[in-house]
Amino acid sequence: MAQLSRRYFLEMALSGAAMSAMPAALSSAAAAAGKKMNVLFFAVDDLKPNIGCFGDPIARTPNLDRIAAKGTIFTRCYCQQAVCSPSRTSLLTGLRPDSTQVYDLETHFRDTIPNVVTLPQQFKKHGYHAQGLSKIYHGGLDDKQSWSVPHWQPQTPGYGKPENLELMKRLYAEIKKAGKDPKQRQNRPRGPAWEDADVPDNYFADGATADRAIQVLREIKDKPFFFAVGFLKPHLPFVAPKKYWDLYDPKVFKFAEYREAPKDCPPLAMSSWGELRAYYGIPKQGPLSPEQERSMLHGYYAATSYTDAQVGRILDELEKLGLADNTIVVLWGDHGWHLGDHGLWCKHTNFEQATRSPLLISVPGQKTAGSRCDRLVEFVDIAPTLMELCGVPPTENLEGLSFKPLIEDPNRAWKKAAFSQYPRGGGKGQPGYMGYSMRTDRYRFTEWRPRKDNGEKFHELYDMEKDPLETVNLAASKENADLVRQLSAMLDAGWKGALPPR
């Protein structure tokens, strides 16, 4: 795919009366005080838009809602690949997976694009203190060049109940006895998929991270900063202190409405949700029991509320230190998550539930506080947006577009499409595939392309207006042949062809 040049980015930033008027409108308070705008950058693992401010009637997320009340809710934000490392790499570099060549959890982007300048690194180069806590890049793949000081990781137990701690000891011992290293990712033992231990917040990693974040804010309050705070929950296992489980009556959780593969869907589109199956007590094949499903739903919401509370503690400290008036707050979940829809759990697909991700951004001085923006935006847009908002020069070859204009006018014309992708490996002599997926205002269109020339292409087409649950793949119908050709051509034109007019 073609790259967006720095020149194009600058032209976009300068074109149009609305855009040229924005710096004064959004940063007048900080400018009047002669201060640079800070960035408080929250990264939340596996958080989907099951949040109060996104319209979820069950979710107890007062602090995420608090960010939304002061900022903009991007209701249709899409990640570039629905798995942790590729998604985070795209967001933090402003490049898409085919440019980073990061499609898995093992490849470090410095091995494929060694000279790239990341989002925090660019802030550091331009006078900012850049610091990161917990999971910002994928675990074990941190980037020293991004930070002003060494990255910090919490060191806390994974479970709180004595029986689960004993279980983990036994599982570790069994792996060692088998001659394997339990610290290696492929051998790491997995305990129960959920837990409601009666422990304080900082017993677990996210509470400890909030403690550390509060301390760091006090230390850096007199510097311009790009401060990235990562939270591990609601990633599996759904472990959260009991008080967050107690926020929810288990009876309120409803199972997914549509629980089958879409009609006429190519098998490549589905996943076996192996991530969840690795956890203790989860069946290796077949569906979860109703009791397990209810516990999974309960645990996901409890873990989300646990993280919400930690975000709130940090926001409180930001206000106490007098930093709220010149700090941009941005919060994102690194991709969506299946909660039984299509009979799936986890992520690892190109469906709407896996690729649609929450994005909240609050900019001091914005006139549209509390607004909802339904325009299509992507993770690769976040880096150029934050750079423009803070007056930091854009890095080279960005493949996203600053959505700063949407913060001023959430209803203005914008991108025609958002793009995601997911690889499927080959086997038994069959070529591997890359599924390229495109979300337009109305459709989700996916083309599974063989990585070798001798393979067959497969298509998916869902009418998201008439069929938001993606129950029927329309691509196989002859009456949709022209539409498939049109969307395929649009997909071939790529993200640059979907940009708004200059």
Taking the chain, what is the end-to-end CA distance rounded to the nearest angstrom? 20
Identity of the amino acid at 420: S
Q: Pairing relation of β-strands 38-44 and 327-333?
A: parallel
Task: At 108, list the tokens.
Answer: 């470090």
Q: How far apart (Å, rounded) are the C-alpha atoms in residues 62 and 73?
A: 14
Q: Pairing relation of β-strands 377-378 and 72-78?
A: parallel
470-489 burial, b at 16+ Cβ within 10 Å, e below that, comes to bbbbbbbeeebeebbeebbe
Active-site residue 84, yes or no?
A: yes
Active-site residue 151, yes or no?
A: no
Q: What does residue 403 show for φ and ψ, rounded to 5 degrees?
A: -100, 25
Contact 82, 346 (CB under 8 A): no
Q: What are the E-state strand segments in 363-427?
A: 371-373, 377-378, 417-424
* 26-28-31-32 Cα dihedral, nearest 10 degrees: -170
Q: Which of 79, 84, 265, 346 is catalytic?
A: 84
Contact 263, 473 (CB under 8 A): yes
Distance of alpha carbon 463 from the chain centroid: 24
> CA-based Rg of the chain, rounded to a whole angstrom?
22
Q: What does the DSSP 8-state code read for residue 268? A: G
What three-state secondary structure class fits 270? Answer: coil
Token pair 């006090």: residue: 218
Q: How far apart (Å, rounded) are the C-alpha atoms in residues 80 and 91?
A: 8
Task: At 499, list the tokens.
Answer: 């940009």
Distance of alpha carbon 44 from the chain centroid: 7
Q: How far apart (Å, rounded) are the C-alpha atoms in residues 288 and 277?
A: 10
Token pair 């790529």: residue: 494
Q: How far apart (Å, rounded) are the C-alpha atoms in residues 308 and 394?
A: 31
* 309-312-314-317 Cα dihedral, nearest 10 degrees: -130
Contact 320, 257 (CB under 8 A): no
What three-state secondary structure class fits 201? Answer: helix
CA quadruple 102, 106, 112, 116: dihedral positive or negative?
positive
Q: Which residues pair with 229 in a beta bridge?
A: 42, 133
Query: Is the peptide bond between 200 and the residue preceding it cis, with omega within 30 degrees of 0?
Result: no
Q: Which of 138, 151, 298, 459 is catalytic?
A: 138
Residues designated catalytic: 84, 138
